[in-house]
Amino acid sequence: MEQGANSGQRLEVIVAGDEGSTRLDRVLATRLAELSRSRLKALILAGQVSINSSAVKNAPVRDPAYHVAAGDTITIDVPEPIAAEPVPEDIALDIVYEDDDIIVIDKPSGLVVHPAAGHETGTLVNALIAHCGASLSGIGGVKRPGIVHRLDKDTTGLLVAAKNDRAHQSLTAQFADHGRTGAMRRGYMAFVWGVPNRQRGTIDAPIDRHPFAREKMAVREGGREAITHWEIQESFLGRDGKPVAALLACQLETGRTHQIRVHLAHIGHPLMGDAVYGPHFKTKASHLGPRSQTALASLDRQALHAYLLALEHPKTGAILEWISDLPEDLARLRDCLRAAL
């Protein structure tokens, strides 16, 4: 055992081959009884476990089911214990609406919604605790007070949080219904590669965890129901005068992790700038004009913005709706694409 780079502990295990299983998580559970199975799984998924073997050279392995062999050396970086409750942090928030029951934020790119492995501080929750004090709903749990839905770290736009338990229960029910019987609506602006061959459509394809890359989601038979409606707002030509990209308005009928990103990639129109679900489309950038290429490169994130949020106020029953303009980086990309520059 030694001190790790993160001031926690660095543990090392050499696989003996007699642990009863070759799965990474089970080998570690057998050899490191002081760490719970759930803790070991979390460390693996967070990239804190590395393997040095004939097949892998000191590389993080994020799959708990990865098979190890006798003689493999496993290194586990165990971070220092952290406080059970998030601490308040003075992080500026773009508040578009607030009363005694709810607060609506226009989230910037790069802001994680709630603490998780690798992001214990600097999150929206830390900012909300500082801003709202003890008024946030506790239903979401210690690390997710007030949180009823999420946006990916690099997705911008509108997000609502609950400031008391009654509001949390109402918002949770509305999000579960997704506007099927109520007023709840969530709309996204998505810049995608290519132009769909019709004006509008619906993607009804179940989503589950990716079978091999555990940090990704995928369309999979037997997954959870996922439905996304889309409509073309604009189409853009490349410097050769041929269609190269489109701006879609998307509305969710369900709320799965990475839903829009997975669904649009599934129909062959991944989000521009999405390094996870659209890496094979990077060469498409060569069809853009130089200014558009620069705007896309400086984006450094998926081109997705939560522009619309409508809901029924948990207390008054009033139907509230907010619209968020495209942030500066996406507006710049749109303008360059429009001009085919």
Which residues are paired to 271 by β-bridges?
Answer: 192
Choose among 76, 75, 72, 78: nearest CA to 22. 72
CA 98 from chain centre, in angstroms, equals 25
- Joined tokens for residue 275: 């390094």
Residue found by looking up tokens 């555990």 in the block: 214
152 is catalytic: yes
Catalytic residue among 101, 152, 274, 329: 152
Q: What CA–CA distances, in Å, run from 175 to 35, 168, 169, 172?
A: 36, 10, 10, 5
Cβ atoms of 232 and 269 closer than 8 Å: no
286 vs 71: CA distance, rounded Å: 46
Q: Amino acid identity of 289? A: G
Q: Residue length, the chain?
A: 341
| Helix (H/G/I), strand (E/B), else coil: 133 | helix
Active site residues: 152
